[in-house]
Each structure stands twice: as C-alpha cells, then as structure tokens.
C-alpha cells in the first residue's frame, strides 16, 4: 500500500500526462471505428452506446469507492447476475410486483456486501480472497436461482418497471431541459470551485476550469441532441447521472469521502488521525452492494432476461474503467470524472468491435490487453511520484 496521501486534485506531471492521454485515446477510438463503420456515429448506435456505458460506469463507480481505501471486489460481476436473476425469478415465477422484487433485490445485496465488508475488516482477511470466494459462490447461486435456464424480466409478455429500465426514453423536450439544468449546475459548481481555491490561495488557472466546464457542457449537449434524433435520452443515462452526482458529492464534499482517500493513502496514519477505518471500509462495501443491485437490474433488463452469462467478467470491466481513468489500485487516488472516462473507453471499444463483427476471442484479448496496459501505466505513475 502506498504511503503517500493523494487528493483528487493531485497535479503532478504524470497525472497531467494521463489526463491528456485518455481523452486523446478516446478520440482515436471513436475516429477509428467511425472510419471502419460509419454506423458507429449514427444516432441509434450512439444511443445504444449511452446505455452500455451507463451500465459499465455505474458498476465502476461502486468499484471506485471500494478501491479508494485500498480494497478490491472481484465478486461484483457475479453479484450483478445473481441480484438481477433473483428479481427476474420473483417477477416471472412468483408473480411479485416489479417494484417489490427490485426492492427485495436491493435489500439482499446490501446485506450480502455489508457482511463481506464486515468479514474483511473484523477478521482482517484480504478482500481479494473474500470477494474471489464470493465470485464463485454468487455465480453458483445465480445458476441455482434461475435453474440454469433463461428467465424473462417480464411475466406473460407484459411490460413492467423492470423490463422498461433500459427501453424507456425521455421525451426530447424533457431530455433537453434536464441537460440544461445539469449544465447550469456544472457551471455553478465550477465557479464555486474556482472561488474556493482563490480564497484558500490555491487557485489554478481560471481558464483551465472554464475549459473543462465548456468541453463537458458541449459534449453533454451534443450527446442529448444525438439521442433526441433517435428516441430521446435513455433512462440508464439518467440513472448514471444521478449515481455519478451522488458519488462525486460523497467523495469530494463529505468527511466519508476524505476518509476514503486518507485510508487508501496511508491506513496507519489514518488510524492515528482518528479516522474510523473499519466503519468507512464497511460503508464502502455497503454502497458497493447497492450499486451492484442497480447494475444487476440494468444489465438483466438490457439483456431481456436473466441467463447464466449475465454479469460475466463485468468486475474486470469495472476495474479497468477505474484504472484507465486514473484510480490507483493501491488506493488513495482517483476521481469520478476519470472513472466515467475510463468506462466510456471500455464501452466504446466493445461497441465498436461488435459493429465490426470481431470474434469473441479477439474481444477478450483486447479487454485483457487494455486492463494490463492500464495497470502498467498505474505502476509506472506510482514509481514517478
């Protein structure tokens, strides 16, 4: 574990290089697939990409909270399949109302991840081992729950809240007004950030803060326009926006978030400083459980049914999104914006390869290489600090 506390605003040369390299890499990915397949930039495909990146990013944001204090969760993908399948079975086989089934799944996930977090903290068992065991257990339970069959998310072909999670689109006017509100909020936050830094004597270049806001606002506005040209803003994108806002607020505006960075930077120093390490770590796993449940519902609804493959290897995509976005696997460093960028890179790669009819074997190889390169970059960056 690193012995240096790193804040989310760390501005070393290595971090600056990574911050510039990732957007350029994303631009190169988009350019390549647009040239190879013009359909990549169509409103329909970009709308589908929005759904796919939302599912990956939501899970990655939960993984981000777990990685910050220096932990890991290898059971997330299996948990996605289990919780999503549990809700589907309750609806399809036991005629539960969709809201009740979803709520039950959230409660179950919260209990499971709270228990895992408590076991890791109280017994001082490495999270790698506990969650690796969880990966196997949850995968087996998932198959038992769905009887190794395909369980639809709706009963009798009737649409319900569960099945509409990834098929519902906001009307163009609603999406436009919502994006305008988000852009306004982003502007206010950027202004307050600049004023706060100025008051504390740590203000950076105001032009840089404005540029970040301007680029983000332009991209958001463009994305909403593209989605409106198809069916409107997908509901999963709204879910991602809410989750990202909550996680960003939690990690940057609350003592809990500061404790996460402190524990990941130097756990011993955090203990001496009076940080409630056990409670914070368990809290991170508890929130991870809630996010696993939300991701499970989204992924299962997007698949149209719960099958034995739902959630497979999603934990690796989540870890890759975090590391690509600048989150250190040692803990103590990372931002929500970086995680979102990393998730977009992963989703764009998979979406583009699917359009090009790339074989499953090549997809696995590519995902593995991307994850390996991201970890290598993280290690090199840590050596330079």
Nearest in space to 298 (alpha carbons), one of 98, 77, 80, 79 = 80
Whole-angstrom distance, CA of residue 77 vs CA of residue 97: 25
Q: Domain holding 238: CATH number?
A: 1.10.3470.10
Whole-angstrom distance, CA of residue 320 vs CA of residue 342: 7
Task: Please report the sign of the dihedral spanned by the C-alpha atoms of residue 169, residue 51, residue 62, residue 297.
Answer: positive
Number of domains in the chain: 1
Whole-angstrom distance, CA of residue 257 vs CA of residue 69: 10
Residue 179: inside a domain, yes or no? no
Residue 145: inside a domain, yes or no? yes
Residue 264: inside a domain, yes or no? yes
Residue 108: inside a domain, yes or no? yes
Residue 260: inside a domain, yes or no? yes
Residue 340: inside a domain, yes or no? no
3-state secondary structure string across 215-263? HHHHHHHHHHHHHHCCCCEEHHHHHHHHHHHHHHHHHHHCHHHHHHHHH
- 158 forms bridges with which residues in the sheet? 155
Q: What is the pLDDT along the chain (385 residues), one digit of tens a residue?
A: 444 444 444 444 555 555 667 788 888 889 999 999 989 999 999 999 999 999 999 999 999 999 999 999 999 999 999 999 999 999 999 989 999 999 999 999 999 999 999 999 999 999 999 999 999 999 999 999 999 999 999 877 677 889 999 999 999 999 999 999 988 988 888 888 778 777 776 555 566 677 778 878 888 898 999 999 999 999 999 999 999 999 999 998 899 999 999 999 999 999 999 999 999 999 999 999 999 999 999 999 999 999 999 999 899 999 999 998 889 888 888 999 889 999 999 999 999 999 999 998 988 898 888 878 877 776 776 666 5
**DSSP for residue 150:** -
What's the domain range around 52? 46-171+232-312
Residue 281: inside a domain, yes or no? yes
Residue 221: inside a domain, yes or no? no
Nearest in space to 70 (alpha carbons), one of 254, 284, 275 = 284
């Amino acid at each position: 574990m690193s012995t240096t506390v790193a804040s989310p605003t760390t501005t070393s040369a290595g971090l600056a290089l990574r911050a510039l390299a990732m957007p350029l890499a994303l631009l190169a990915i988009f350019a390549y697939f647009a040239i190879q397949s013009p359909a990549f930039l169509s409103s329909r495909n970009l709308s589908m990409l929005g759904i796919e990146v939302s599912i990956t990013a939501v899970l990655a944001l939960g993984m981000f909270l777990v990685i910050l204090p220096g932990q890991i969760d290898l059971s997330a993908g299996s948990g996605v399949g289990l919780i999503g399948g549990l809700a589907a079975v309750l609806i399809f086989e036991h005629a539960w109302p969709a809201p009740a089934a979803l709520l039950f799944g959230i409660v179950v996930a919260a209990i499971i991840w709270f228990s895992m977090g408590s076991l890791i903290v109280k017994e001082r068992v490495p999270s790698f081992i506990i969650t690796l065991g969880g990966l196997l257990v949850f995968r087996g339970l998932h198959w038992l729950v769905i009887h190794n069959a395909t369980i639809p998310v709706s009963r009798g072909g009737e649409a319900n809240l569960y099945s509409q999670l990834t098929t519902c689109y906001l009307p163009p006017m609603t999406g436009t007004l919502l994006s305008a509100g988000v852009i306004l909020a982003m502007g206010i936050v950027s202004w307050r950030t600049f004023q706060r830094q100025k008051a504390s004597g740590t203000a950076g270049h105001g032009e840089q803060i404005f540029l970040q806001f301007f680029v983000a606002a332009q991209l958001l506005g463009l994305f909403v326009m593209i989605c409106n040209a198809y069916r409107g803003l997908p509901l999963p994108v709204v879910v991602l926006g809410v989750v990202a806002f909550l996680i960003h607020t939690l990690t940057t505006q609350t003592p809990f978030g500061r404790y996460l960075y402190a524990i990941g930077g130097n756990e011993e120093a955090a203990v001496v400083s009076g940080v409630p390490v056990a409670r914070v770590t368990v809290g991170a796993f508890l929130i991870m459980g809630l996010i696993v449940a939300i991701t499970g519902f989204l992924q299962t609804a997007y698949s149209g049914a719960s099958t034995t493959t739902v959630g497979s290897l999603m934990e690796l995509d989540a870890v890759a999104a975090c590391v690509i976005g600048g989150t250190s696997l040692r803990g103590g460093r990372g931002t929500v914006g970086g995680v979102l960028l990393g998730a977009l890179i992963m989703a764009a790669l998979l979406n583009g390869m699917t359009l090009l009819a790339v074989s499953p074997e090549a997809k696995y190889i590519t995902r593995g290489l991307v994850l390996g390169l991201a970890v290598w970059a993280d290690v090199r960056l840590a050596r330079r600090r």
